[in-house]
Amino acid sequence: MSTLAPELAVGPAALPAADALDRALRTASPAEVIAAAVRTLGREKVALVSSFGTESAALLKVMADVDPAIPVVFLDTGWLFEETLAYRDTLIAALGLTDVRSIKPDEEALSRQDPDRELWFSDPDACCRIRKVEPLARALKPFAGWINGRKRFQGGARADIPVVEDDGVRLKFNPFANVSREEIEAIYTLGKLPPHPLVASGYQSVGCMPCSSRSAAGEDARDGRWRGRAKTECGIHTMKMS
């Protein structure tokens, strides 16, 4: 058990140092990381960002056990599977979440940059920018920190993520950085959490419908995202959130 981060006075111009928090929480449990984020910044200044995807219920369950009133930001991109939208509603009810905010892209930006809904094919980075990155940046403006569900075992750019980092604007907490796939499965089992409806049909990672595909045997979970392209991230974890 690690020593948790001490209570720190936080003002809008003075966030605690991410590296100090990371050292303090390096071996903390996911629940301890979330509790430290709330204690350090205040519940009204930290949000959990969730896709309500195939592994999202585990993080949402841990968060709900700490405080079900922590704000949850959900990006409704306009390209999500109907199963994902239904799963969001199922988990809100099952976990007693009280502040889930479904954020949509700016309609003017969509009509100007993606009038034919084909941007996902011609320029997926631009599509992610107007449907995910820009809406999330707007949604996070009131917050001094955010919580996400990235894990080191997912590989790629996620293999070396810290528990706490500075995204250039606010603190970013990665409470599942150290967890294993088996620990995620245990949270589902112990919490009797429902799986995402698309898992049964072979989806290991679910994002927007045009850019998600079923994973073959032996593939990593995220191999089904943006299949056939060099792209591996939507941009919310690689672009500065102004």
| 208 catalytic per annotation | no
| Residue 227, both tokens | 């299949």
Closest CA to 47 of 131, 139, 151: 139
Q: Catalytic: which of 128, 208, 211, 234?
A: 234
Chain center to CA of 225:
15
51 contacts: CB under 8 Å, gap ≥ 6:
74, 75, 84, 206, 207
Overall residue count recorded for the chain in this entry: 242
In the chain, beta strands by DSSP E: 46-49, 72-75, 100-103, 145-147, 164-166, 171-173
Closest Cα partner for 143 from 103, 187, 116, 84?
103
- The Cα 173–Cα 168 span in angstroms is 13
DSSP single-letter state for residue 157:
G
| CA–CA dist 109, 85 (Å, integer) | 23
- The one-letter amino acid code at 128 reads C
Residue positions annotated with a catalytic role:
234
